Amino acid sequence: MTKVFSDLGIHEDLVQGVDSMGITTPTAIQEQAIPAILAGNDVLGIAQTGTGKTAAFLLPIIQKITERGERKNTSALIIVPTRELATQIDQAIQAYGYFTDISSIPIYGGGDGKIFNQERHALESGADIVVATPGRLNMHLNLGYVDFSQLQFLILDEADRMLDMGFMPDIQRILKHTAEQKQSLLFSATMPDNIFRLAASILKNPVNINIALSKPPSNVDQGAFVIYSNQKIPVLMDYLKPRKEKSIIIFSSRKAEVNGIQSALRRNGFSSLAMSSDLEQSEREFALNEFRNQKCRILVATDVMSRGIDIKGVDVVINFDVPGDAEDYVHRIGRTGRAEAKGEAVTFVVQDEQIKFKKIETLIQSEVTKLPVAPQFGEVPVYAPVSQPKNKKKGGWKKFNKPRPKQ
């Protein structure tokens, strides 16, 4: 029998908020996490973007906070890696808690002194839920007016992403300011050793929930162009021409490459906007809103867009390069093919990325179709992802570096 949110112990006021967003059936992680959190357990949740984990922790946390009645201090702290995710979670709090009196504030870098003062006021007055990026929150903590001594809930979302971005020292400093007795939740898309150690240090007898990394949905047509580096831009323009009316995200692993892709698009008559951490917050929000509202059809982005941010109606995902982590491939192309809609995902694979792409095919247990490249673009490499043998000579590995001169 299909469950509804009231079956999980969610209050009617919150069910109304969920219903108003058109959500009726809990996802797998919501079915498992919500009762565990309501029961007061710490939770370790392994789940990728798109599984519904935001509602899985927000709904029970909002319910437990509002049941307390009078509240003077911050009750819950949610730590996230990016400004976009902080904003998105804050918006979700307002939507789910529309029929409650819950208060929240997102705290992230960028903005002017007025925004900083607004954040300070919310922290001093005790917003129910604070959603913060680690660096910005530490700025406030260092000024001495933040009181998390009554904190009841600590949530780390996209924990693996935060550690990849070097936030571990910031997170450790934040933890020292929180109450000793609290309910802690950690959500991550993957479980490398550093996440395992972090979870062990902050969680007490957690309920473990593992929603396996899903394979790309069958309604996404995957393909790859095996090409040389200098063929990327010409092949990209050729691929885009018949797709001018579609909603497209072009991913690049390098921030410096985003501007180059945009310039090439402009020269070829395509308008686009960019999303990377080098941009001001106002620029990023503008780009995201324009793309969401389909006023701009092409968004060129770094992996800041691959996780956590929910955008509906993406028709095509283009990987301008092969992502460094095989699992990031699944996150990237998971931007399209949502709600059973048809999607396309193509990846440009140059010679020195073939081994990385083969790891992706191993992860998803499927060989991605190699797409034909038009003859006018010249010859292309053969897809032969085999490790190059190292040069050896008798007695050990051959060294190519010249010996340093004696000092």
pLDDT tens for residues 136-182?
A: 999 999 999 999 999 999 999 999 889 888 999 999 999 999 999 99
234 with 200, same domain: the answer is no
Beta pairing, strands 392-393 & 396-397: antiparallel
The pLDDT of residue 185: 97
Answer yes or no: is 403 within a domain: no
pLDDT tops 80 at residue 96: yes
Answer yes or no: is 387 within a domain: no
Q: Which neighbouring-strand residues pair with 131? A: 78, 106
Domain boundaries, position 232? 220-372
> What is the tens place of the pLDDT at every residue in 231-250?
999 999 999 999 989 999 99
The position carrying tokens 């040389």 is 228
Alpha-carbon gap, residue 356 to 386, rounded angstroms: 10
Domain boundary among 165, 180, 210: 210
Chain centroid offset of residue 108 CA = 16
The pLDDT of residue 21: 79
Cβ neighbourhood burial of 270 (10 Å; 0-12, 13-18, 19+): middle
199 with 258, same domain: the answer is no
182 with 240, same domain: the answer is no
The pLDDT of residue 214: 59
Domain boundary among 210, 229, 252: 210
Answer yes or no: is 24 within a domain: yes
The pLDDT of residue 397: 33
Chain-wide mean pLDDT for the chain?
87
Q: Which residues in 40-165 belong to E strands, given as ranges?
A: 43-46, 76-79, 104-107, 129-132, 153-156
236 with 322, same domain: the answer is yes
pLDDT tops 70 at residue 400: no
- The tokens describing 229, both together, are 């580096």
The pLDDT of residue 403: 41
The pLDDT of residue 339: 64
Q: Specify the higher pLDDT residue, 315 or 335.
A: 315
pLDDT tops 80 at residue 354: yes
The pLDDT of residue 233: 96
186 with 120, same domain: the answer is yes
Q: Specify the higher pLDDT residue, 396 or 214.
A: 214
200 with 250, same domain: the answer is no
pLDDT band at 193 (very low <50, low <70, confident <90, very high): confident
277 with 332, same domain: the answer is yes
Alpha-carbon gap, residue 130 to 102, rounded angstroms: 11
HSE, CB side, 13 Å, CA atoms: give it for residue 362.
9
229 with 199, same domain: the answer is no
> What is the tens place of the pLDDT at every residue in 22-66?
788 898 899 999 999 999 999 999 887 667 889 999 999 999 999
The pLDDT of residue 304: 65
The pLDDT of residue 393: 40
The pLDDT of residue 212: 67
Overall domain count for the chain: 2
Domain boundary among 210, 242, 268: 210
The pLDDT of residue 84: 85
Tell me the residue type at 271: S
The pLDDT of residue 177: 94
When pLDDT is averaged across residues 323-347 and rounded to a whole number, the result is 82
pLDDT tops 60 at residue 406: no
pLDDT tops 70 at residue 274: yes
Answer yes or no: is 405 within a domain: no
User: Do residues 185 and 42 make contact, with C-beta atoms less than 8 angstroms apart?
Assistant: yes
Element (H, E) at 393: strand 392-393
Answer yes or no: is 215 within a domain: no
- The tokens describing 284, both together, are 């990023």
pLDDT tops 80 at residue 126: yes
pLDDT band at 401 (very low <50, low <70, confident <90, very high): very low
The model's pTM is: 0.67
176 with 225, same domain: the answer is no
79 with 176, same domain: the answer is yes
The pLDDT of residue 399: 35
The pLDDT of residue 255: 80
184 with 247, same domain: the answer is no
The pLDDT of residue 225: 97
The pLDDT of residue 394: 38
The H-assigned helical ranges of 128-192 are: 134-142, 159-164, 168-175
> For position 163, which CATH number holds?
3.40.50.300
pLDDT band at 113 (very low <50, low <70, confident <90, very high): confident
- The tokens describing 165, both together, are 């971005």
148 with 280, same domain: the answer is no
